[in-house]
């Protein structure tokens, strides 16, 4: 399977003009890169720049580029002021949705139960969830990492069937590594990847645990990117800060391609 590189723009950039500039710059550079799946996840309001159907994207010559959302709501419609449903995102042409990001857990109080509801609905409308899990610095220091990952996976994937799990990508994102410039050691990331496969094996099956895509996120840059693919055996990367810099982002993609 092709490595998956996901750009999480978070709440950036501040204007539509800048968003267009960033996207066009990425699009131009990505055009000739083959065998890597690149997903751009801008804020909702900019999605319409990329939110065209996959076939239209292909026609426009940037078929290798997929679009994703940074969140979605679990109901399809109704009196839920401010929410964006997974169905709306699918209709706009989104392929992926990031769910359970630590910033949503931290700043918006998202619980495992809420994440699980969103996950189920996203799968139902054929959006592929990028399910983020990871321990905080304190949890790590207290030796709780394994239990945290186990609990987040069990609760987040509650009542997800063996068929449905195939649409999910798991992103191991240690919270202490996100946006801190302190990436997880490659060896440690490899151990966490194996631990996640072990948990998936116990809940689902060996076959599923071997096939599910696990990606790494947390202070990835062009210097450390290849190590996560080659040594830690990750299936891809989730990139925040560095995805806002087109030159650096392309360097990461090229490093992954070479690895």
User: Interface residues for ligand PEP in 138-177 (CB under 6 A)?
Assistant: 173
**Helices 186-203 and 145-156: crossing angle, nearest 10°?**
40
Among 21, 53, 80, 179, binds ligand PEP (CB under 6 A): 179
Residue 239 contacts ligand PEP per CB under 6 A: yes
Q: Are 10 and 70 in contact (CB under 8 A)?
A: yes
CB of 20 to ligand PEP, least distance (A): 22
CB of 64 to ligand PEP, least distance (A): 21
In the three-class reduction of DSSP (H, G, I as helix; E, B as strand; rest coil), residue 49 is classed as helix
Among 240, 249, 252, 256, binds ligand PEP (CB under 6 A): 240
# residues contacting ligand PEP (CB under 6 A): 14
Q: Candidates 61-69, 107-115, 137-145, 217-225 — which segment interacts with ligand PEP by CB under 6 A? A: 217-225
Rounded Cα distance between 190 and 52, Å, is 36
User: Interface residues for ligand PEP in 10-69 (CB under 6 A)?
Assistant: 10
Rounded Cα distance between 44 and 25, Å, is 19
User: Interface residues for ligand PEP in 90-129 (CB under 6 A)?
Assistant: none
Catalytic residue positions?
101, 173
Q: Are 104 and 110 in contact (CB under 8 A)?
A: yes
Q: Candidates 34-42, 43-51, 63-71, 234-242 — which segment interacts with ligand PEP by CB under 6 A? A: 234-242
- Tell me the CA distances in angstroms from 183 to 108, 218, 224, one per residue in order: 24, 6, 8
Whether residue 115 has a cis bond before it, omega within 30° of 0 = no
């Amino acid at each position: 399977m092709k490595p998956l590189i996901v750009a999480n723009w978070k709440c950036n950039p501040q204007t539509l003009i800048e968003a267009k500039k960033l996207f066009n710059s990425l699009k131009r550079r990505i055009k000739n890169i083959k065998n890597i799946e690149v997903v751009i996840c801008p804020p909702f309001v900019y999605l319409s720049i990329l939110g065209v159907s996959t076939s239209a994207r292909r026609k426009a010559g940037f078929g290798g580029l997929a679009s994703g959302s940074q969140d979605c709501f679990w109901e399809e419609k109704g009196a839920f002021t401010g929410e964006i449903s997974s169905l709306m995102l699918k209709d706009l042409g989104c392929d992926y949705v990031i769910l359970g990001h630590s910033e949503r857990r931290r700043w918006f109080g998202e619980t495992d139960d809420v994440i699980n509801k969103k996950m189920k609905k996203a799968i139902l409308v054929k959006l592929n969830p990028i399910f983020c899990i990871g321990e905080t610095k304190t949890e790590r220091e207290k030796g709780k990492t394994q239990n945290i990952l186990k609990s987040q996976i069990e609760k987040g994937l509650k009542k997800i069937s063996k068929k449905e799990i195939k649409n999910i990508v798991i992103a191991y994102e240690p919270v202490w590594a996100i946006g801190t410039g302190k990436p997880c050691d490659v060896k440690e990331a490899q151990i966490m990847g194996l631990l996640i496969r072990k948990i998936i094996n116990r809940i689902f099956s060996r076959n599923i645990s071997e096939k599910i895509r696990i990606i790494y996120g947390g202070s990835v840059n062009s210097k450390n990117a290849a190590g996560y693919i080659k040594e830690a055996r990750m299936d891809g990367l989730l990139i925040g800060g560095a995805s806002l810099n087109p030159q650096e982002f392309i360097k990461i993609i090229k490093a992954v391609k070479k690895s």
